[in-house]
Amino acid sequence: MAILFSNATILPMTADEGSPKTFTGFVGVAGSRIALVTESASEADAFRAAHPDARIIDCTGRLLMPGLVNTHCHAAMTLQRSYADDIALMEWLHDYIWPFEARQTADDVALGMTLGVVEMLLGGVTSFVDMYYHENRCVEVAERLGIRAMLGCNYFDSNVEEVLPEVGQAVELAACCDRVRIALAPHSPYTVSPENLRRGKETAERYGLHLMTHIAETQDEVRIVREKYGMTPVEHLDALGMLDARTIGAHCIHLTDSDIATLAARGVAVSHNPQSNMKISSGVAPVERLRAAGALVTIGTDGTCSNNDLDMFEEVRTAAFLQKSATGDPVALPAYEALKLATVNGARALGYAEGELGVVREGALADLIVVDLQKPHLQPVHDLVSNIVYCGKASDVDTVMVDGRIVVENRRVAGVDLPALYAAVAAAVKRITAK
């Protein structure tokens, strides 16, 4: 069924510098694509005439914009939300997170993924990049809930022989859904040997997949990699041939000028996770230096036990504020540029062509969100983009469309019984933590 969003304030994320960022008008969707973007009422009437059964959604007082793209998370870790807080990273991983994960089943991972996807959809996230275990099981979750996903099969040296054989199965399962893609996800250059990093890259190339990994997240990681290989994490990965335009590097905090130049030259997508980095005291990623070098910078939430939510509105705001504070420059990462990191840039990181995703443009995939502007914290409107970036909240999202299908309406997720989901999550956590 075709859908026409009428009387909307539209933020297409396509404006040239100096041009108006928003306008009032109409957006028509036919199938999975945007078929009409216009200010003209007569063109909207023509769309209605061409699609007599089209559903009309009145967006008076609301903003229509591209859905947000979360380029790094561990969605199933919702089961570990607030499980281990205020602890140093290495202790947090070794004493809490990894033992918890060792007690999880594939069903637990699928359940945690379900809760994570529901949270993201309600917060206006229409695409996400995941990095976890049992991603072959999570294909069904993403398909069922209607979100767009890149699911990274995570491995260490300790489980590589289990994970790599599952990749082909996951690719086969995802082949029936255009919205879901599989990726390889070696954990990091300090937990995966050079041989197994290469094996992951070779597997990714065999199937034509992206590869993602944590890069230079902490000073400890940089020290370990230098001691083992005599190089920075970026230099080490580059020497192994791991870095190219199909690589997503999470965090990228402790970088030299040479590292930054390499990431930019190789076309690596950097996923900036400001709130997680702040909470674990990992440091501040040099986002402005990366952008100045021409690197592709995006935004991710990381997992819910190091954040502790999947709220991309908060993440965009924090990214902008943190760069201003870290650089001492109040004009660093302005609001519109910060929003591009979570829309246009995120779409590029997933491998979509320019103009195909992350924008409101005719011919683009119809991944759209409607934001209710009739909120005290969004009034008055001197600058709508500033309001969205500096004042907007996940709870302002009213309607979410992915691939031309409405998956959230009036803040209700299609096909999800929330009380039953919460009860299942509570039971799973009680069983896991009781062992």
Binding site, by residue number, is: 72, 74, 101, 187, 214, 217, 302
**Are residues 153 and 183 in contact, defined by beta-carbon separation less than 8 angstroms?**
yes
**Are residues 142 and 101 in contact, defined by beta-carbon separation less than 8 angstroms?**
no
Helix (H) or strand (E) segment spanning residue 266:
helix 257-266
Q: Which residues belong to the annotated binding site for substrate?
A: 101, 187, 217, 302
Looking at residue 115, the DSSP 8-state letter turns out to be: H
* Secondary-structure percent of the chain, ordered helix, strand, coil, rounded to 5: 45, 25, 35
Q: Which residues belong to the annotated binding site for Zn(2+)?
A: 72, 74, 214, 302
**Are residues 249 and 263 in contact, defined by beta-carbon separation less than 8 angstroms?**
yes
**296-299 and 269-272 as β-strands: parallel, antiparallel, unpaired?**
parallel
CA 136/CA 120 separation, integer angstroms: 20
How many helices and strands, by DSSP H and E, does the chain display?
17, 17
For residue 111, is it left (φ>0), alpha (ψ between -120 and 50) or beta?
alpha
6: Cα within 13 Å, side-chain hemisphere: 16
- The CA distances from residue 276 to 168, 378, 416, in Å, are 32, 26, 28
15: Cα within 13 Å, side-chain hemisphere: 17
Radius of gyration of the chain (CA): 21
**Are residues 362 and 36 in contact, defined by beta-carbon separation less than 8 angstroms?**
yes
**23-30 and 33-38 as β-strands: parallel, antiparallel, unpaired?**
antiparallel
Three-state SS annotation for 341-389: HCCHHHHHHCCCCCCCCCCCCCCCECCEEEEECCCHHHCCCCCHHHHHH
Q: Which of 399, 329, 317 is nearest to 126 (CA)?
A: 399
CA 227/CA 385 separation, integer angstroms: 46
User: Could you identify the residue written with the tokens 């250059």?
Assistant: 189
